[in-house]
A and B are shown apart, each in its own frame.
Chain A
């Protein structure tokens, strides 16, 4: 009797999944790695793996909508004569003009100002749109020094020395030629249409001792008025935070690997750095070990999406968070209303990340004058302000339930973790236990 061999279901490899196969084919066809914007897309341990413990008997909750829960924060009180005072602990992260359109920068300024917070420049310098519409503007001092000048330094409310980004710690940038309009070329002192390679390191200092002297120079130029932030990519948060404090920073910004970038190699974005959640406790610990927690403020960014994320970050010891990708979405980036246009680019709303190509249907990450008309900076600014206010209300709701009359009174004791990984990274107990994996070390 002949043996019947039944057909089996075709099985795809988990290692060589469809995306991986398409990347291999693309690399073989083009001879160049994939460049894209945004932050890490892979699944990473995140704030979702933490839960708050609301008040019952052992804690006493505050009434929602009746009892005050303060949200304000002061940044830069260590050395600066004029620290920054914000109404909410959510700031807008640095995103460059050149990568973003002028109307998008204006909308960020409008939205941040309406919500009582700051916005930040980026590689490319300070634009009038942004300065004019931002009550509080942080001026980034970047390795490339595109558009850097002392006049704008003095017009800023704070200075952020950018050492690294979460999406690419140790990496430089690449703005492809198609986005180099006349105006962008003029601001960056380069010929129109060429790829612009941004340096990965500052040209005139090489280590923490030099950085200390560089910060002194910036303070002298601005008469010690403005807070100096130091921003690092989330790679070695304990040591980088400690060295930033040693160098004299008023504020340390730690950007986790979910933090976005305008354009970098996909392989870099997905494989370098640490998740935001993993960066917070070591950075806080560094400040605590130095006796500088709450004296040098800590801002954390990278994948912050809602008020729960804000509250969790604050509970773990940060003073404020910063948002970039979420702010772009609030302005209208990746909006399904442009689905047909996204399809024409071979993608879909929600997945578009080729911001460097300058063809953003939403008019946000482009220098195309026609596409730019699609964003109304007043309406988009209002949307951003709405979003920031919602996040704040959400964080307040959680804080009140935990019995806190200030977002800054949230503490690690208010949290438990759903996974061992998150418990170890955040330094809070695994839910239902008093076990904190990895306590006494990193």
Chain B
């Protein structure tokens, strides 16, 4: 076993300063159902792309540092924590499991995600939750423009502000924003917060470990459903 790959407590440690990304991902993919190697630690990611992509077992991975593009892409059951910031596409197309980014996230965080929970403790850049298809995303800070563009389903919770064109061409995803929204995109409107939404939002905040804000502080946004079936009278909205 290479020097850097050692047992540290109960965690299996990979040092990307000494070992390759390929070795890390292959080792993660080689895990079968029921493996007892359930705790992993990745050192020195130094902005590497594709760290811990394609995880398909219920393991936990602590990444100690910042990562580049597509960290934890297509995660299916893993619990992955980035103790730093994440580059573009963190958790893209996630199927299930949980990803936590302790710092900020760049563009298209959680893009097309189909399930699981993505928590960004800092800010997220543009296109957060673009084309989301069932994922839940909670951002403690702000999100950039064109977030939740063509969002199909799932929930996006933002404790800070949202940029321009929030929820453009949105389908059935639910957006909860506590701060200011720069502008709403095509077919996205503010909606009433009914008791079931308060309950849903409280559950999302609980799952994200957020205890210092109340659901009542948020506004809900969703689809006006005018673009669901093409009508020439709505052409100006496109």
Contact = CB atoms under 8 A, between A and B. Distances in A.
Interface of A: 30-32, 144-145, 148-151, 153, 174, 176-177, 188-191, 194-195, 197, 199, 203-205, 210, 213-214, 216-217, 220-224
B56 A203 contact: no
B49 to A, nearest CB: 5
Interface stretch (B36-44, B127-135, B199-207, B210-218): B127-135
Given A145-B112, A213-B70, A203 B50 contact: no
B172 A190 contact: yes
B104 interface: no
B54 A222 contact: yes
B224 interface: no
B6 to A, nearest CB: 23
A280 B93 CA distance: 34
B98 interface: no
A171 B50 CA distance: 29
Contacts of B169: 197
A220 B229 contact: no
* Main secondary structure on A side of the interface with B: loop
A150 B50 contact: no
B143 interface: no
Say what secondary structure dominates the interface of chain B: loop
A382 to B, nearest CB: 37
11 contacts: A30-B232, A148-B114, A150-B54, A194-B171, A203-B130, A204-B112, A204-B127, A204-B130, A213-B69, A221-B74, A222-B54
B111 A191 contact: no
B50 A199 contact: no
A215 B44 CA distance: 23
Interface bin, chain B: 35 or more
A217 B49 contact: yes
B76 interface: yes
B228 A195 contact: yes
B114 A189 contact: yes
Contacts of A197: 150, 169, 227
B25 to A, nearest CB: 5
Given A190-B171, A221-B53, A199 B131 contact: yes
Contacts of B50: 213, 216-217, 220-221
A214 B70 contact: yes
B95 A149 contact: yes
Given A195-B230, A217-B49, A217-B69, A149 B88 contact: no
B74 A203 contact: no
Contacts of A199: 131, 150
Contact of A145 (B21, B133, B172, B227): B133
Given A199-B150, A214-B89, 6 more contacts: A149-B95, A174-B230, A203-B130, A203-B150, A204-B130, A205-B88
